[in-house]
Amino acid sequence: MKRKSFFLTALGIGFFFLGIMLGLALSAGVVWGEIEARLYTSFTATSGLRTLECPLMLAPAESGIVTATFDNLTDELAKPVIRLETSHPGGARQTSQALSLAPGTTQTLNWTVGADDAIFGRLILVSVYQSQYRQLPSRLGCCGILVLGLFGLSGSQTFTLTFAVSILGLMVGGALWLLRMRSLGGPVLAVTNAGGVLAAIVLAGMLSALPRWWGLTLFCLALTVLMIGVIVTEFILFPTVNK
């Protein structure tokens, strides 16, 4: 009976920390790409381009579509120049295209990127710049795309699989952990509560990565590392403090 209890407890902890590590890796990958994209670009603008859409992840043999929508909210014809800058191992590549936007109209542009554009082995960095034209301000949007494929899956499938396994690990591991520890108090209850807080922070980080709210994701990553440090210090390295 004791052996079974120990096995279930170890299994729960193992599943739980698998979920934590996968969630941490997923969030960190998104934040890494977003920060690198902003450091890599050679453009500056007066405002952000909020309509830029990029894949979160692409497989090594896969190509993806980058989409941006441009609008003219002024009362006169606007002819901004749109510049796309993509990373490349041999140096950044740029293309440009002039638009003609009547007052109150919008236009959407699409570009194709692929693993050939990756630098650092894993990142495709994209910048889309809209030049200023009379009353129309300059705008800039940046994004990073992680290049990773597992088991022959596409990038979106790999991202979804990792996300799902992380959630499953947190749920199954947390349930087993709570089932084995709920009747105990003191330090065991404290570390269980700390684990619940840690899981919530990791989940918030993954969810914030989906819309690329990288500032919030970075904040959650910092909290995750802090919580892991607290758990290791308070309950593993110096457990006598809590007795």
d(CA 211, CA 206): 10
Q: What is the tens place of the pLDDT at every residue in 110-162?
A: 999 999 999 998 999 999 999 999 989 999 999 999 999 899 999 999 999 99
Check whether 185 has a pLDDT greater than 60. Answer: no
Q: Which of 20, 19, 36 is nearest to 214 (CA)?
A: 36
Q: Do the Cβ atoms of 49 and 68 come closer than 8 Å?
A: yes
Question: 65 or 121: which carries more pLDDT confidence?
Answer: 65
Report residue 182's pLDDT band, with 50, 70 and 90 as the boundaries: low
Judged by average pLDDT, the poorest of 24-28, 92-96, 128-132, 189-193 is: 189-193
Q: Which of 238, 224, 230 is nearest to 26 (CA)?
A: 224
Q: Which of 215, 210, 166 is nearest to 56 (CA)?
A: 210
Question: 173 or 52: which carries more pLDDT confidence?
Answer: 52
pLDDT for residue 189? 61
Residue 121's Cα: distance from chain center in Å? 17
* Mean pLDDT in residue range 33-37: 96
Does the predicted TM-score (pTM) go above 0.85? yes
**Which contiguous run of DSSP H or E holds residue 221?**
helix 214-231
Q: Give residue 218's region: left, alpha or beta (phi > 0; psi -120 to 50).
A: alpha
Burial profile 31-40: b = 16 or more Cβ within 10 angstroms, e = fewer: bbbbebbeeb
Q: How many CB atoms lie within 10 A of CB 130?
A: 24
Q: Do the Cβ atoms of 116 and 139 come closer than 8 Å?
A: no
Check whether 187 has a pLDDT greater than 60. Answer: no
Q: What is the SS3 assignment for 127? A: strand
Instruction: Choose the most confident range, by mean pLDDT, from 36-40, 170-174, 236-240.
Output: 36-40
Task: Calculate the average pLDDT of the chain.
Answer: 89
Check whether 231 has a pLDDT greater than 60. Answer: yes
Question: 47 or 13: which carries more pLDDT confidence?
Answer: 47
Q: Which of 145, 153, 235 is nearest to 191 (CA)?
A: 235
